[in-house]
Amino acid sequence: MSKKLSKWVNHRKRASKLAGMTVSVAGKYAGSRLKAAFSNQPHTDQAKSEFYAQIGKQVVSTLGELKGAAMKVGQMASQMQHLFPKEFADELAALQNQAPPMDFSVLERQLVLELGDYPKKLFANFDRTPMAAASIGQVHRATTHDGQEVVVKIQYPGIEKACKSDLKHLRRLLKLGGLIKVDPDALESVFDELSVTLIRELDYIEEAKQLARFHEFHQQDDGIIIPQVVKEFSTKTILTTTLEQGDSIKQVVSGNYSQEAKNKIGDKLFQFIGRQVFEFDGFHSDPHPGNFAFRPDGSVIIYDFGSISPAPSELKQGFYEFMKASVARDYPALDKSLIALKVRSATKTSIPDDFYELWSDIFMTPFDSEDPFDFGTSNIHNRAIKEWKSFLPYWQDFQPSPDTVFINRVIGGVYLLLVEMGCQCQFQQPLTHFLAQNQESAPN
C-alpha cells in the first residue's frame, strides 16, 4: 500500500488520534468546572466562553487534519449548531469550508478497480485536476468517447469504515466534553439518524437512484435543473453524471446578476424545497452552497443527492400542522404539533403563549405580508440570537428530533442562501398554496 493511500485508511491511527482528542477535551471540561467552583459568576461566564472557543479550535484542527471521514462527520455535526454553545458552534462551522483535494494517483487506483481501466482509456478526455473536493470524494471533469461532457465523482478509498469509526468517537466526545445539554435518548436518536444518512451518502448506487427519482419529479418544473446519471461509468464508489454548468453563489453576489434574476432564484429555491417537503416522499437535505449553481435567467442547478431524507406521510402531516398553526398564530395547536413532532417533550410544563408569540413573530416574518420580503436586510438570525435567553427557562422541555433535524437544516441553509444573495421574494402566497394542497390531500 502506498504512503499516500495508507494515511487515509490507517483506521488504528485515526481512532487513536480521535480518542486522544476526546480525552483531552473531557479533561479540559473537568478542569474548567473545577475552576468555576472557585470563581465569581462574571468570571465563570467569561471562562466558559473562552473554554468553548478553545476546544472548538482543537476539534476543528484535529478533524481538519484527518480530512476525509472525520471532516464529513464534523460537517454533519456543524449542521446541529443550535445544540451547542455558540462559541463551539462558530468554530465547528469552519469545517464546512475545509476540503483540500487528494492526490489523483490515489483516486486513479480506485477508478481502475471500479471501472476496469485507466481514465485515459475510458474517456476521450479526463482532467486530473478536480473541479471540486468534498469531504468523502472529489469531482473531475471528463468527456466520453461519444462527445458527451460529464463529471466523475470518485469516493476516497477506505472512507466508509473510517466514517463509522469517526462518528462513534464524535458521539463520545460530545457526551464527555459536556458540550451538549439535551435528553440523552433524544441525542442517541439524532446520532442514529446521522449514521443512517452517512451510510446513504457513501452509497453512490443509492445516490444514482435518488438522482433519477428527483430528476423525474422536477422534470416539469421550469428552471430547476438536475443532472442525469451516466450508468456506464457509475458504481458504488464512482458516480458519473451529465455536466450542468452554472455560476457559484459568489458569482451571483459579485454584481453580475440583476435583482430580478436573484428574486427568480429565490422563488425557485422555495419551490424546490417546498414541493419536496409537502408533495414528495423525500427531500434534498444538504443545502451547502456548493451543491447549488445558478444561471442569469433565474435557473437553479442542484448537485449531490447523497443526503436525501425521507418524508413519510406522518412527517409531512406533522409539518403541515406545525406550519398551519404558525401562520394562524394558534399557539395551543402549535404546542400540540411540536409534541407530535417530538420537538417538545410531553411534560407537564405549560409553555406560555407569549413565548410562542415571540418566536413566531421572528421566524414567520417572511410569510406575514403580501409584499416581497427583503432577505438582504433580514435580521431574523440576529433577532433569534438576541432573544436566545428567553429559551433557557424551557430548555429541558425541547429536544432535537430525528424527524425534523434535517428539515431544520434545509430551512436554515436555504435562508442563508437567500440572505447572501439579497433575494426579495413574496412567500406568503406559495406557502398558502402548499398548505391548501396538503389539506385537500389529507385523509378525513
78 part of a folded domain: yes
Same domain, 298 and 172: no
Arithmetic mean of pLDDT, 269-288: 92
Same domain, 299 and 400: yes
Q: In which residue are the cell numbers 461566564 written?
A: 45
Enumerate the β-bridge partners of residue 225: 301
Domain coverage including residue 47: 3-98+160-181
The grid coordinates of residue 141 equal: 471533469
pLDDT of 34 reads 47
189 part of a folded domain: no
Q: How far apart are the C-alpha atoms of 322 and 403, rounded to whole Å?
A: 13
Q: How far apart are the C-alpha atoms of 247 and 291, rounded to whole Å?
A: 11
Same domain, 251 and 380: yes
Side-chain half-sphere of 161: how many Cα atoms within 13 Å? 9
Q: What percent of the chain has pLDDT over 70?
A: 73
Q: In which residue are the cell numbers 469550508 written?
A: 97
Based on the structure, what is the number of domains in the chain?
2
DSSP state of 390: G
Residue 280: which pLDDT band, with cuts at 50, 70 and 90?
very high
Within 10 angstroms of residue 20's Cβ, the number of other Cβ atoms is 12
Least confident of 162-171, 172-181, 246-255, 343-352: 172-181
CB of 328 closer than 8 Å to CB of 443: no
337 part of a folded domain: yes
CB of 339 closer than 8 Å to CB of 308: no
CB of 26 closer than 8 Å to CB of 176: yes
174 part of a folded domain: yes
* 403 against 267, higher pLDDT: 267
Least confident of 65-74, 218-227, 316-325: 65-74
Q: Kindly write down the DSSP assignment for every residue of 104-122, as one continuous string.
A: HHHHHHHHHHHHSS-HHHH
Same domain, 173 and 308: no
319 part of a folded domain: yes
114 part of a folded domain: no
- In 3D space, the residue among 120, 151, 122 whose CA is nearest the CA of residue 134 turns out to be 151
384 part of a folded domain: yes
Q: Which helix (H) or strand (E) holds 385?
A: helix 380-386
Least confident of 140-144, 162-166, 247-251: 162-166
Cα→Cα distances 200→38, 207, 277, 291, Å:
48, 8, 19, 17
135 part of a folded domain: no
Same domain, 367 and 250: yes
Burial class (CB in 10 A: 0-12, 13-18, 19+), 147: exposed
Same domain, 177 and 250: no
**What is the per-residue burial (b if ≥16 Cβ within 10 Å, else e) of 214-225?**
bbebbeeeebbb
